[in-house]
Chain A
Amino acid sequence: MKMVNLTIDGKTVTVPEGTLIVNAAKKVGIDIPVFCYHPKMEPVGMCRMCLVEIGRPVIDRTTGQVVREDDGSPKMQFGPKLETACTTPVSEGMVVLGTSEKAKAGRQDIIEFLLTSHPLDCPICDKGGECPLQNLTMEFGPGESRYLYDEKMHLAKHVPLGELIYLDRERCIQCGRCVRFQDQVVDDPVIGFFQRGRSLEIVTYSEPGFDSVFSGNTTDICPVGALTTTDFRFKARPWELRSAASICTQCPVGCNIAFNTRREAVSGGKWVIKRVMPRQNEWVNEIWMCDKGRFGYHYSKSAERLTQPLVRRQGELAPATWEEALSFVAERFQQAGDGLFSIAGGRLSNEDLYNQGKLTDSLGGKKVLYGTMGGGDLTAQSGLVPGSNFSDMGKETAILVVASDLHEEAPIWWLRVKQAAERGAQLIVANPRPTRLDAYATHLVRYPYGSEAGALLAMVNTLSAKRPDLPEAVANLVRSPELKAAAKAFAEAENAVILYGSEGTGLETSTALAQSCQNLLLATGHIGRINNGLVAVWQRVNDQGAWELGWRPVANLPEAMQAARALYVAAADPAGDDPAYLAEGRLGSQEQAFLVVQDLFLTATARLADVVLPVQAWTEREGSYTSGERRVQRFYPVVPELADSYADFSVAGQIGKRLGLDMEIRLAGRTFARLASETPAFTGLSYARLAEVVEQWPIVGRGDLYYGGTTYENSQGIGVQLPLTSAGGLSWPKLVEVGMPKIGLLAVPITRLYDHGSTLLPSSMLHQRIPEPYVVLNDQDAERLKISEGAAIQLIPAEGGSWLGVRAIARLRSDVPERIVLVPRSFGLPVAGPTVVSVRLAERVLA
C-alpha cells in the first residue's frame, strides 16, 4: 500500500493513500469536527462543518518537480476557499490547517448557520450532555446570534416515525446520517428526505412506521436530539447515568452493549436501567445493535419475576426459605443419584452451565441442552479460529449461509455478511424459500425442506470423488448448474465460512446438516485458518457455550426423561413450549420424578414443579457467554441484586455443597477459573484475559468532535475467541429422508426475530411489532384448502397428539414451497422439526 506524508496543524502524518483528511487527523489525535461524516459511511460533504485550509505543493509542469522557496522549503499553493476534510483524500506534501483564523471563522459561520433554525432547547433535550452540536457550539459558536429570534422556524417537535423512534423536526440539522444509515448500511430505506432546503424533513412511509430492526442505531449516530427512542425519551439526562458493560442475550451474536442506569426517586430510590446502548467491538457488532437487543431487555425488570423459593406443600406451591428449599432439593437429588436429569437452556452463562453440569456429573446424572439444533461439537472442531472477523472478509472469501433466514435469526450477522458481500465476497445463499439475504447473493441454491444436508452433500459431490449416496429429493440437485457454480466458487475461494441456521430443521436434520457443512469445509480445505470455518446460528445466546461444556440436546426429550427420578430444569420451559407435556402428565407428577425448576418467571413448567428456585437476571450479576463465533465475553453487574437472590451458578453450587461437593458459590470469576482449568478449549482463560481491550478503529464513544455516535467505547473487554479443539474428520452423516407426505402438509419451524419468547414479551413497546400467532401457507395450497388470508386455523399432527388448543392466523405467500407450512418458533405451535400435519379451519378438517 502506498503511503502518503502530509502535515496537519504542524504534525507530520503518514497514512495510506486514499485516506480522508478527517481520518488522517484523527490518527494523530486531531479532532476535525463533523456532523454528516460518519466513519462507517461514505462521505457526502453535506454539513460543511469540517472545513479546513488545504495547501498543496506547487509542481513545475515542465520538470514535474516540486517548486522550492529560496530557503529550500516546498512552495505551497493554498486554495482560495476552505475545503471539506471529510471528502478530500490526502496527497503527498499536503499541508492542512484546521486551527487557522480562516478555518475557525469558517466553522463559526457554519455553526451560526446551523443554529438559525435550531431551537437550542438543550435544557429539555435528551441529547443534551452528549450532543456534538452542543459541544461544537460551545467550542466554535459565535456566542451571540445575529439571527432574529422571532424569525426562527418552528416545526413539529413530536413526530412519531413509528412507535419506537420519535423525530423532533426543529432539532434536525439535515445531515442525513439516519437516511444514509438506513439506505447504505442496513438496506432498509424506510426513512427519507421530503421537500428541500429549509422545508426538508425526515419522513417514513413504511407500514409500520420506520419498519427496520436496526432503527435504534439512527438515534446513536444522530448528532443532535432530532431522533430519540421511545424507551429513553424524557426519561433521564445523560450526565446522570452510570454505565455498565454487558452482552446482549437475545441471539448468538453476543453484541457488546452498555446499560445506562440511574438511582431515582420515581423508582423509590432504586437503581434502574434507563437504556441500552451498543458498545464497540469491531470483531462482533462493530458499533451497532438491533432493536430486539435495544428494547427487549425489559424482561429483566418485569414485575412478574420470581422473588423467593417455592416448595409444593399439600399440592400448592408455597413460599419457603432458601435453606428449606435447597436442603429439600439436595436430599431428593441425593436419592435420585444417577437418576438426576438436568435440562439447561442456552441463555444460561458458562459459569451456570459449568456448575449445574458439575453437580449433575458428580451424581452420575444426565445433562441435556434444551433445544433442537445440533453440531456444536463440530463448530468446536471446525469453527472460526482466533483472529477471524467478518469485517476482514471480502473478495478472497466465500460465505455460505444455509438453512437460515439470517435477518430474522441474527440481524447483526446478516448485516456483516451483507457487507462482506458488498466488499466482493462470494455469497452463497442456500435456503428453501427466499430471504432478505438473497439480494446480495452471488449464488442461490434452492432445495426442498428437509434436504438441507443432502444439498450440502450434493455440493461436496460435485467437487470430489467421494460420492455419498444422496437422498432422492436432492439427487437432481447435483445436476443443477446453480449448485455446481456455487460449489465451485466455494472451493476456489481462498477463505470460506459456513453459517448454518435452523430454518426448517429439527435436531436430527440439523445434526446431519452440521456434519455435511463440516464435510464441505474439509473437502475444500477451509478449516483451521483465519476467516475459515463453521458457525452455527444458534437459537440462544450461549448454546455454543453449553456445547463446549459438554451439554447436548436429545432427539426425544419426553422419552429420554422417562427414566429420570429427579428433573432439574434451568432456563427452559418445556411445558410452556409444548402443551403435550401438560396433557400427558410427563412432568411434575410426584410418583414419576421430583421436578425442580430454576427460572426468572413462574413458567408453565414451574407451575408443575415440586420446588421452584428464583434466580438473578443477567443484569444483576457477573458471568460470561460464548458466542456463535466461539468468542467468550464477560458481562458485568448492572443493577444491585434483589435481596436474598442468587445467580444460577450459585444456586447449583449451593445444592452441590449440601451434597458434599467442592463447588464455588460466590464468585463468577472463580467459577470461571475452575471451568477454564478443566475445559481444554478454555485453557489459559481468566476473567482478566476476557477483560482485555485493544485500540479500535474507528474511534467512537468518547466526547470528541469527530463524532461516531453515542456507542460506548469498549473498556471492559473484547473477549477471547476459543481455539479449535481438534481437526475433526470426514464422516458421512446419516441422512434423514424427509420426503413429502402422501397426504397432508409438511410443517417446518422457522425463526422470527420478534417472537413470543419469555425474554421478549415483557417489553411492551415492541408489542406492535410482535405478530399474533401465525403460520404461512403457500397461496395455491390455501386456495385448494379454501383458506383465506387471515383465517384462524389449527394444525393437526398426523402422528397423533393434539395441538387443538392452539390457533394461528393463516398468512398466504406465493414464495413458500407448495405443501409446506411455515411455523414460527415460540408462537405456541410445538413444531420441533419437519412434521406432517393437516390443516383445519374452524371445525372442518381440510387436508
Chain B
Amino acid sequence: MFAEKYSDEIQAILSKYPPEQRRAAVMPLIYLAQREQMYVTKQAMVEIAEILGISSTDVASIVGFYTLYYDKVGSTYRVQVCTDLPCALRGAEQFLEGLCNNLGIRVGETTPDGAVMVEAVMCLAACDKAPMFQVQSGDGLSYHENQTVESAASLVAELRRKAQSKRRDGHGR
C-alpha cells in the first residue's frame, strides 16, 4: 500500500543512496510513511523492510529508538515544549503548565478532538529564545520561539482548525 502509493517519492529517496547501501534510506522512508497519519503502520514497516532488504524488526527498532517516530495512532499535531534547564530558567515550566491549563489537558495528553498533543521534551537547541516549542506534524517540524501562553494558545486554536479541515478532506486524523 505504502510502496504503491508513494512509489515516486520512494524512488526519489532511494536514488540518493548507492544501491548496495540502500538500507541507509530507512530513516527518510519511515519519515515518509509517517507523513499521512503521524504514525508508522506495521504494514508500512514490512513494506519498508522489503524495499530495503532488511528485516521489519530492524525497521521497528529504528522507529522505537527515535522519539519523533511513532508506532501508534496519536494526534495530528504534537506541540513539543522544551523544559530542559536553560529553558526552565526562562519560565518554560510555567509556560507549559499555563498552556495545558488553557487547553484543559495535562502534559502528554491530546485535545478531545484528537488534533493537538502537548508534551515536554529535551533540548531543542534554542535556549536563548525560551519559552519555545516545536510543532510536529506530517508536514514536518516548525519552531516557535519567545512564546507566551496567549501566543501559543492562538497557534493551537489554528492548528485545531487545520486538523478539522484536514479530516474533512479525507486525510488521516
Mark A residues whose CB is within 8 Å of B: 188-196, 203-206
Contact = CB atoms under 8 A, between A and B. Distances in A.
Contacts of B63: 194
A189 B57 contact: yes
Contact of B65 (A188, A189, A196): A196
A205 B57 contact: yes
B170 to A, nearest CB: 29
Contacts of B61: 192-194, 203
A190 to B, nearest CB: 5
Interface residues of B, dominant DSSP: helix
A364 to B, nearest CB: 59
A190 B57 contact: yes
B55 A206 contact: yes
Interface in B24-77: 42, 45-46, 54-61, 63-65
Contact of A189 (B42, B45, B55): B55
B54 A192 contact: no
B60 A205 contact: yes
Given A205-B42, A205-B45, A194 B64 contact: yes
Contacts of A188: 55
A149 to B, nearest CB: 26
B64 to A, nearest CB: 3
Contact of B57 (A195, A196, A204): A204
Interface of B: 42, 45-46, 54-61, 63-65
Nearest to B53: A439
A203 B64 contact: yes
Contacts of B65: 193-196
Contacts of A205: 42, 45-46, 55-57, 59-60
A688 B99 CA distance: 81
A189 B60 CA distance: 11
Contact of B55 (A190, A194, A196): A190
- Nearest first, the 5 A-B pairs at minimum CB distance are A194-B64, A192-B61, A205-B56, A192-B57, A205-B57
B73 to A, nearest CB: 17
A206 B64 contact: no
Contacts of A189: 54-55, 57-58
Contacts of A193: 61, 64-65
Contacts of A206: 55-57
A206 B55 CA distance: 8
Nearest to B61: A192
Contacts of A195: 64-65
A819 to B, nearest CB: 27
A572 B61 CA distance: 47
B66 to A, nearest CB: 9
Given A194-B61, A196-B64, A206-B56, 12 more contacts: A188-B55, A189-B54, A192-B58, A193-B61, A194-B64, A194-B65, A196-B65, A203-B64, A205-B45, A205-B46, A205-B57, A206-B57
A218 to B, nearest CB: 13
B68 to A, nearest CB: 13
A190 B60 CA distance: 10
A203 B62 CA distance: 12
22 contacts: A188-B55, A189-B58, A190-B57, A192-B55, A192-B58, A192-B60, A192-B64, A193-B65, A194-B61, A194-B63, A194-B65, A195-B64, A196-B65, A203-B60, A203-B61, A205-B45, A205-B46, A205-B55, A205-B56, A205-B57, A206-B56, A206-B57
A203 B63 CA distance: 12
A188 B42 CA distance: 19
A190 B54 CA distance: 10
A204 B60 CA distance: 8
B64 A191 contact: no
A471 B169 CA distance: 66
A486 to B, nearest CB: 21
